[in-house]
Amino acid sequence: MWCLRKLNLLLLVTVALLTAPLLTAQNVAESDPQFPAVRAVGEQLKCQCEAHCSYTITGCNMMGCSFRAKMLPEIREGVDAGLSTQENLESLIAKYGSELRNAPRAEGFGLFGWAMPFAALAAGLIATPFVVRHWRAQQAAAPANVPIDEKLLSRYQDEIEQDLDDL
């Protein structure tokens, strides 16, 4: 009985020692007052990691993402320097290229990128009734009863009879 109590106590102490760091640990993101500003910039930049993921820099879930590890300190430097989110974005895009941009700009040629899906949808909706009418007109113009050539029909029937006799 004494041995069982000692084993239970040892187990309890072990569990407490193993879980204490987990319970007392604070997430670095929660303890950093500038993390929301870093996240705001990182969410607008596309990750360029080796896995060619489609996530943002702060949203990349690849363990040990080298690009995220390289970019987060640079984003933090911009936040520490007092740059606004837009200024920080522009400086990083100027340094690493426009492929870092997660969405096209809402000015100049970027407006074309925003407008094209809607223009294509509108063009499709406008063109659909014309295409359907054209198909129906072609279907109505096609003759329904084509006369059958008797010579051709008898030749096919003879071939079928010959194939059946061979079986």
Give pLDDT tens digits along the chain (167 positions): 556 666 666 666 676 667 665 555 444 444 556 678 888 888 888 888 877 788 888 888 888 888 888 888 888 888 888 888 888 888 888 888 888 887 777 777 777 888 899 999 999 999 999 999 999 988 877 676 777 888 888 999 999 999 999 88
> Domain 30-103 - what CATH class?
mainly alpha
Delimiting residues of CATH 1.10.8.640 domain(s) in the chain: 30-103
What pLDDT, on the 0 to 100 scale, is given for residue 51?
A: 75
pLDDT at 60: 82
Between CA 49 and CA 52 the distance in angstroms is: 6
Give the model's pLDDT for residue 121.
96
What's the pLDDT at 21? 59
Tally Cβ neighbours within 10 Å of residue 92: 22
Q: Coil, helix or strand for 85?
A: helix
pLDDT at 30: 46
List of residues 6+ apart from 61 with CB closer than 8 A? 53, 55
Predicted pLDDT at 63: 82
The Cα 37–Cα 27 span in angstroms is 16
pLDDT at 135: 92
